[in-house]
Structure 1
């Protein structure tokens, strides 16, 4: 997510008590969370083609879900991403704030949703850039099937996920159920989401969302 000129009050994830409203709100967050602290437009990230899962890529079997615990850190070694994770809760208006622009290298976890390692799809979101520099998920579109995503949880345990596919969902053709819903019943899954496509300066938004999907394949103890 990046900066753009918008009316005050936009740029937040609007949600509610039902799953349908949650999905709509997350979509809105993906569309609208491009407000930065100023009014200038950020550079574009370029058009991105969906990677999907190339033929012949062998992926490990899913393991049984773990007890649900909140995330503390996320690491994607193949991309050089290592970042703290903070929960984003509802404010008085029923909105979930994305990570603040003062913390561009922090990932947000939707704390009212699935906890990483538990059955369901846990949602991690991050900005792609700010007005002046790349942010935490700037390189997310370079993820490839088979890559490992390690989530360190509050008890020090690590839930290890394997990337299943990478897709780009245009803003005008966004399937919230496909993006945010679990693909396999009772499986522990992970979604890592940021803005993608090109930056539409007139609208003040990116034209798409990059969505990396992964599923639980291992666990262990933190070495640090």
Structure 2
């Protein structure tokens, strides 16, 4: 965990430097350049690719934020994703510490930040692949606006989010606040993040980040 902890659910933004470190920590997780599935996580081009909101896709109204509760599981039915969630902090270099590759089917939640369902933007991160196989967020770049994301929380509730934006941000022209900061003040939001673009064997990392944005639209108890 970071030296200066923030209360869960506070929803404060990181500084620009911390956001940039988070980006590098996510897509430079120590993978050595090797043959494997990790040559590309999405058919994207350029520095930024956006799906946006297709015409004719109605999105439901936002639900009021709810009391904080730790996430335990995340599901995206349209992508076949169903995975446990574990809290993660920052490593010694100040980058977000993802689940180890031995748990590549597990999603990490930045535990010093917002809890899903509370006001602010909560961060969920996951590997796109390992050196030998696809990982938990391998299909994340194919998410589309209108898709449902379910987060089971420690209080027994299921926070239901609706995807409203899917973007791929290149490292060279990365705007951290635009990618990870809250889009609407007072709303409960979710960011699901993994690596994207292409795998750069020279650096041992990916050239971009996939960022799926969603907002709270319902709660089931």
The TM-score normalised by the length of structure 1 is 0.86
Residues 149 and 161, structure 2, Cα contact 8 Å, conserved in 1: yes
In the TM superposition, residue 19 of structure 1 has moved relative to its aligned partner by 2.1
Cα distance in 1 for partners of 2:117, 2:220 equals 12
In the TM superposition, residue 39 of structure 1 has moved relative to its aligned partner by 5.5
Residues 62 and 187, structure 1, Cα contact 8 Å, conserved in 2: yes
Report the CA distance shift for 1:15/1:190 in structure 2 as closer, same or farther (over 3 A).
Answer: farther
In the TM superposition, residue 53 of structure 1 has moved relative to its aligned partner by 1.2
In the TM superposition, residue 175 of structure 1 has moved relative to its aligned partner by 0.6
- The residue aligned with 1:161 is 161
Cα distance in 2 for partners of 1:92, 1:30 equals 14
Task: Pick one of 40, 43, 54 that aligns with 2:34.
Answer: 40
- The residue aligned with 2:149 is 149
Cα distance in 2 for partners of 1:173, 1:41 equals 28
Secondary structure class of the residue paired with 1:165? strand
Cα distance in 2 for partners of 1:68, 1:27 equals 25
User: Which structure ranks higher in relative contact order (CA pairs < 8 Å, sequence separation ≥ 6)?
Assistant: 2
Q: CA RMSD in A?
A: 2.1
State the aligned residue count: 207
Cα distance in 2 for partners of 1:131, 1:150 equals 29
- The residue aligned with 1:19 is 14
Cα distance in 2 for partners of 1:182, 1:201 equals 33
The TM-score normalised by the length of structure 2 is 0.87
In the TM superposition, residue 146 of structure 1 has moved relative to its aligned partner by 0.3
Gap regions ≥5 residues in structure 2: 6-12
In the TM superposition, residue 200 of structure 1 has moved relative to its aligned partner by 1.0
Residues 128 and 195, structure 2, Cα contact 8 Å, conserved in 1: yes
In the TM superposition, residue 91 of structure 1 has moved relative to its aligned partner by 4.8
